[in-house]
A and B are shown apart, each in its own frame.
Chain A
């Protein structure tokens, strides 16, 4: 096969090559990233890691079907296009496959600044990263008795380009910086308490001292936990805990393909009340500075803001191009690739959780528990919503005050019941990667 005269990394080239090999279309997703990370063991530096990643995700439309292949080696692109064609043939006819998105569907070109690229992040060097580590260590050091287990900082600069034979050729560049600290405090009685904190941003605006300080405070305050009685309590789920539950249960239930396959709790619920009337949830691919934000999704579809739950009423689900086509809808811009080597699948962009009633949740609680995060949230039953999870860094609340840390507790419940019992949110909204949420106050939850 001679493709030497055809530029495979252009829309026109792909159109010509698709015709030449008798296929209906070709799409190439190109990912390029350069990253630098630094990690400590306790306080001391352990290593720097620099990484160069490049790769091509290829889909070929053939015989009313599609095949997928990937490579990290540029000179193998042509061979992998042929391999994807073969995969399409083996898969066999798929009546729902309608090919790739077309240029004319995507006329309204966005030119928004989404706050996802910052040259300052790109320019950070090894010395800057070492200073950030010092700041984390200083933050931890500001709380007596707490020690770092490990700190890490990661920064990257990545470029995505999506080209298809239907005229799409889009490019986007982002930077990212991430800081993490894991700390522990132990006393001579062999009691210990640990905690972690992180922050992530597209911009060079992370407060590293705060990461260390927050983690250390949390560990120290959780020390010498007591047991509590097993019964129903009002619980305050902090943003980490909210994100643990939504990420592992809710998200699966709003994915268009899961809904169509009958594997969503919400399958027949559009237009019905599915939560407390104050709850509002949107998924927004254009959220300023959002970790999941970009002008287009991983198939090249322009990003949108999609309402999921509006005042407790279920309004919509999220789709990629293929699944939306099955029900005659348009993609909601929710095609996500985990890496260049993963086939696009449906996932959230930035899920934003809110409640109409806002207040100081601790003040509102007479006999309750504050739970910072959960251990093992991925073990929840994502369809039925049933879970029993160990709480981490939890505290007893009495008469509007944090009283003491709890050594060990298990929360037993059903996620969908929790949605109905969520009566209020805090004013502490934060970004847990692509879930943006305040703390939530949930009534009458069984705690063991």
Chain B
């Protein structure tokens, strides 16, 4: 049995996770796992067979080819281009390794720095570290390897005053290991989370309606990832599910907007090669407000004459076009200039999550907190503030881009698969945005 193309991805994983609530260890968990994913492409159709325990690769490949052939009966007859892969020396991105006891006792100390006030009612620290050992080969038989460790934690502080409850949270994500707990940073973050929750207890509800706003780097990053980045993913474009369909070369945003996706950057979304064996490079998505690029895997790159390198998958799953580290390039304004430009409006910080409809170009985000901007000055804190609107309108309404780019790590879900990403932005000023509140 022959296929037009086949490949094999094998990974071994080692995880550890701690949950610490109110200074007590709730649980400690350690895992080891394995997974193999075999794909075959035949005359437009894919067959994929995966397993997380030992089964013969040859048997899985035979089944994958069979499934690809069945699939091709009702697939679009397409052609898969060949892309070069390389035999590489093993990439090793493993961080510092401390004993569990040591990490736990550090985390307990870190937790104590969030106890800044009697109104701090409860705290929760989630810590997780994942080591991934990856092998990739395809029918050209070049094998590629890497070893990579990712570690992250989050601190959530809940404060209470009478019937009022508010959260503050901070997190850190790195490629590496125990060094994430080195230095002052975790203590400062724990304290900051607590202060946010306390400040929110006295915060007022936001004004609602059309406002001029400034987004901080975190929320700006979430906006560019969710509202713009997803719409540049080629599989969504091919499915007719993106407002950026057929818009390459068109002006879709303000002249100030430049957006990159860069897997080679050593931020949280980094990978030495993608889950289809392709070595990635930096991709320009929006140049001076003009859409110039899309996010591709092997298949969509073949169909749309693009460049692959963003075929990513959760361990054990199928690679699809995904972002890596996505960010808005620095502009030349500082924060004071942005505030002066906005004059009166709302400053929105942090993200409690969001959701986007890429087909209609509508998005909705909740900020962790916000501030009133009055006469170019940051004023009172506001809570439960959300931001929603039309992606294309917002892109056109960006009137100021700061010079303080910051990229944050995080996770992104699509088609039920969760992958690590980085997203970032400098502070950005946007006019006429719908802000939700009372």
Contacts and interface: CB of A to CB of B under 8 A. Distances in A.
A381 interface: yes
B241 A150 contact: yes
B36 to A, nearest CB: 10
Given A45-B71, A92-B25, A376 B366 contact: yes
Nearest to A134: B74
Nearest to A387: B384
A259 to B, nearest CB: 12
A50 interface: yes
A72 B34 contact: yes
B255 interface: no
Interface string B211-242: 00000000000000000000000010011110
B46 A46 contact: yes
B364 A379 contact: yes
B40 to A, nearest CB: 10
B70 A48 contact: yes
Contacts of B28: 67-68, 87-88, 90-91
A88 B360 CA distance: 50
Which of B25, B243, B316 is packed against the most chain A CB atoms within 10 Å? B25
Contact of A384 (B21, B72, B165, B360): B165
Interface in B40-79: 44-55, 63, 67-68, 70-76
A184 B139 CA distance: 37
Interface in A152-195: 182, 184, 186, 192-194
Interface stretch (B143-151, B186-194, B330-338, B430-438): B430-438
A44 interface: yes
Interface string B354-379: 11110110111110000000000000
Contacts of A87: 27-30, 100
Interface in A176-222: 182, 184, 186, 192-194
A193 B29 CA distance: 45
A87 B16 CA distance: 10
A375 B386 CA distance: 12
B75 A149 contact: no
A316 interface: no
A126 interface: yes
B22 A261 contact: yes
Contacts of B160: 262
Contact of B27 (A68, A70, A389, A412): A68
Contacts of A94: 24
B165 to A, nearest CB: 4
Contacts of B24: 94
Given A42-B240, A389-B364, A53 B52 contact: yes
Contacts of B209: 230, 448
B45 A45 contact: yes
B158 interface: yes
B69 to A, nearest CB: 10
Contacts of A375: 355-357, 362-364
Chain B interface main SS type = strand
Contacts of B25: 90-92
B99 to A, nearest CB: 9
A46 B80 CA distance: 13
Interface residues of A, number: 73
A150 B358 CA distance: 13
A229 interface: no
A73 B54 contact: yes
B85 interface: no
A76 interface: yes
B32 A388 contact: no
A418 interface: no
B396 interface: no
Given A194-B357, A261-B21, A410 B47 contact: no
A262 B30 CA distance: 29
Contacts, number: 225
A70 B235 contact: no
A1 interface: no
Interface string A142-153: 000001011000
B354 A379 contact: yes
Interface string A34-64: 0000100110111111111111000000000
B167 interface: yes
A388 B29 CA distance: 36
A83 interface: yes
A355 B390 CA distance: 37
A114 interface: no
A383 interface: yes
Given A375-B364, A383-B165, A49 B436 contact: no
B357 A49 contact: no
Contact of A69 (B30, B48, B359): B30
Contact of B50 (A52, A386, A388): A52
Most chain B CB inside 10 Å of its own CB: which residue of A46, A54, A68, A392: A46
Given A47-B47, A90-B101, A194-B360, A69 B29 contact: yes
Contacts of A263: 121-122, 158, 165
Contacts of B165: 263, 383-384
B403 interface: no
A147 B29 contact: no
A50 B359 contact: no
A376 B354 contact: yes
A386 B204 CA distance: 13
A412 B437 contact: yes
A48 B71 CA distance: 7
A341 interface: yes
Contacts of B167: 381, 383
A50 B36 CA distance: 12
B330 to A, nearest CB: 28
B88 interface: no
Contacts of B357: 194, 375, 392
Contacts of A74: 53
A90 B437 contact: no
Given A379-B364, A379-B386, A262 B32 contact: no
A24 to B, nearest CB: 17
A408 interface: yes
A66 B316 CA distance: 29
Nearest to B385: A388
Interface in B154-199: 158, 160, 164-167
A230 B29 CA distance: 49
Contact of A448 (B52, B366, B434): B434
A378 B353 contact: yes
B249 interface: no
A49 B50 CA distance: 8
Contacts of A50: 48-50, 63, 67
Given A48-B48, A49-B49, A73-B33, 11 more contacts: A47-B45, A48-B47, A49-B67, A50-B67, A55-B33, A80-B30, A91-B28, A149-B359, A379-B365, A384-B165, A384-B384
Interface of A: 38, 41-42, 44-55, 66-74, 76, 80, 83-84, 86-88, 90-92, 94, 126-127, 130, 133, 147, 149-150, 182, 184, 186, 192-194, 230, 261-263, 341, 343, 375-379, 381, 383-384, 386-390, 392, 408, 410, 412, 446, 448
17 contacts: A41-B238, A41-B239, A42-B240, A47-B67, A52-B53, A66-B27, A72-B34, A94-B24, A130-B73, A147-B240, A149-B240, A376-B386, A379-B364, A379-B386, A388-B437, A410-B364, A446-B438
List of 4 A-B pairs having minimum Cβ-Cβ separation, nearest first:
A47-B46, A379-B366, A388-B436, A376-B355
